[in-house]
Amino acid sequence: MPPPRTWRRSVWPIYPGILGQYTVAMIGYAAALSGYRLPLHVPLWLQAVLELLVLYLLWQTIKALRGARKAILRLFNAQAKLSFAILLQAFILLLPH
């Protein structure tokens, strides 16, 4: 008996192309929690723009995840955008404030 039609849609694989970005982001996040900071002095308005970019990427991720039920290729797009958002957030946390 074949599996139900929705069986493949319930499988959410992890795209291997983003594992490196996730790893670097988690290392950066752990370094920021440990107290390390980058020697870059970025203006406050630029940090605010970067935070807005993180929120925009998260919004695009949620949009792509909602569409991933219909087209599995959108799942990879959503995972890539989520990894970019996490990596950017780790970079922001490493900036001195």
Q: What is the reported pTM? A: 0.81
Sign of CA dihedral 47, 48, 49, 52: positive
Domain boundaries defined on the chain:
16-94
Residue pLDDT, tens place only, 17-41: 889 999 999 999 999 999 999 998 9
Across 60-69, average pLDDT:
88
Instruction: Give 21 or 97, the one with higher predicted confidence.
Output: 21
